[in-house]
Amino acid sequence: MNTPGQHFLLSTAARTLSLAKVMRMTDDQAFDTFKSIRWASTGGEPFCPRCGCFQIYRLNDNRRFKCAACLHKFSVTSDTIFASRKMAIRDILAAIAIFMNGAKDHSALQLSRDLDCQYKTAFVLTHKIREALASEQDAVGEVAGSVEVDGAYFGGYIKPANRREDRIDRRRRIYRTGKREVVVVMRERGGRTLSFVAPTEAAGTPLVAERIAVGSTVYADEASHWDALEERFLTKRINHSVEYANGDIATNQAESFFSRLRRAEIGIHHHIAGPYLSAYAAEMGWREDRRCVSNGEQFLAATAAALGHPVSRQWKGYWQRAEI
């Protein structure tokens, strides 16, 4: 129970998952855990992922199944994002638990040390989890009600020159490397978060308009490109050069999302490459939407998202550049 003024993450209610408990699982317990999460609708009883038949036989190794109807052989990770795995199921569960316990994300280098595996293995594994979380976020479709919109630059970096007179204004277009892009976020107040990456805030405005339900109230700053939203929505604007909030007119929840993503970029990863920026942004949206959910529930939700996601096209194999 939270004490008055106590942050949720410091409360007992936030801690329902013990990494030690996961690491003490036997292979059979880890296997049963995967089964119960993947086939939760049938109480952990497997059914064929291809034809849906419930008449299933266990093969001799007791880890694979065979469908009586179509004769398809499958395992607990077949046709999921963890298909063709080499890592033990218990280690995958431990990886998800470690990954979800990172309040501001978890680096692949640190995970490789935690699991005693290659950096490439940890890198691909974390991105598979992010892909599953991003898919779940994108399934939201559109946001509605009171929606805050904003954009912020991430990725790319030009180190400031030593001497002040040699320094440049990195905000100017002529000094941009092309690696620095804008994450545009749409966030319901007290609800869901949608994000995407665009070259500029202005370039992302049409997509913002498409993903907000008609009849919503949109809160934005005074940037001129948000003027286009006034044609479709009731729009309330805040001038950040004067104040951060004026009554209920603010974009503080959008800024909260950027704060989490900024701390992950600076404090955990130090650099986020442009092609992966959308994956990190979607992950932070997923975390923000569940910021007041216990780590045990987050663990179960992330595992269910991964086991419900099909084989990754981008991360198939153990390294992205492996031939398919």
Three state DSSP letters for 95-116: HHHHHHHCECECCHHHHHHHHC
Backbone CA torsion sign across 19, 256, 126, 286: positive
**Residue 62 — φ and ψ, nearest 5°?**
65, 15
User: Residues in the chain with pLDDT < 50?
Assistant: 323-324
Whether residues 123 and 216 share a domain: the answer is no
Q: How many domains does the chain have?
A: 2
Domain span at residue 320 reads 17-27+81-139+292-324
Q: Are strands 73-75 and 146-154 parallel, antiparallel or unpaired?
A: unpaired
Whether residues 189 and 259 share a domain: the answer is yes
- pLDDT for residue 7: 75
Question: Is the CB of residue 111 less than 8 Å from the CB of residue 154?
Answer: no
- pLDDT for residue 4: 56
In a domain? residue 157: yes
Whether residues 222 and 315 share a domain: the answer is no
In a domain? residue 303: yes
Whether residues 302 and 199 share a domain: the answer is no
- pLDDT for residue 158: 72
Whether residues 276 and 164 share a domain: the answer is yes
- pLDDT for residue 324: 41
Residues facing residue 108 across a β-bridge: none
Whether residues 135 and 148 share a domain: the answer is no
Which DSSP symbol is given to 18? -
Whether residues 278 and 303 share a domain: the answer is no
Rounded CA gap, 226 and 77, in Å?
45
- Looking from the CA of 311 toward its CB, the CA atoms found within 13 Å total 12
Whether residues 220 and 125 share a domain: the answer is no
- Looking from the CA of 64 toward its CB, the CA atoms found within 13 Å total 11
In a domain? residue 120: yes
- pLDDT for residue 320: 54
In a domain? residue 5: no
Whether residues 165 and 105 share a domain: the answer is no
In a domain? residue 70: no
| Residue 204's CATH number | 3.30.420
In a domain? residue 87: yes
Whether residues 234 and 312 share a domain: the answer is no
Question: Is the CB of residue 147 less than 8 Å from the CB of residue 190?
Answer: no
Question: For 16-49, how does the pLDDT look when each residue is reduced to its tens digit (9 = 90+)?
Answer: 888 888 999 999 999 999 999 999 999 999 999 9
In a domain? residue 44: no
In a domain? residue 238: yes
Residues ≥6 apart with Cβ < 8 Å to 119: 108, 109, 112
Structure tokens at 158: 């030009």
Whether residues 149 and 278 share a domain: the answer is yes
Whether residues 196 and 254 share a domain: the answer is yes
Q: Output the pTM of the full model.
A: 0.89
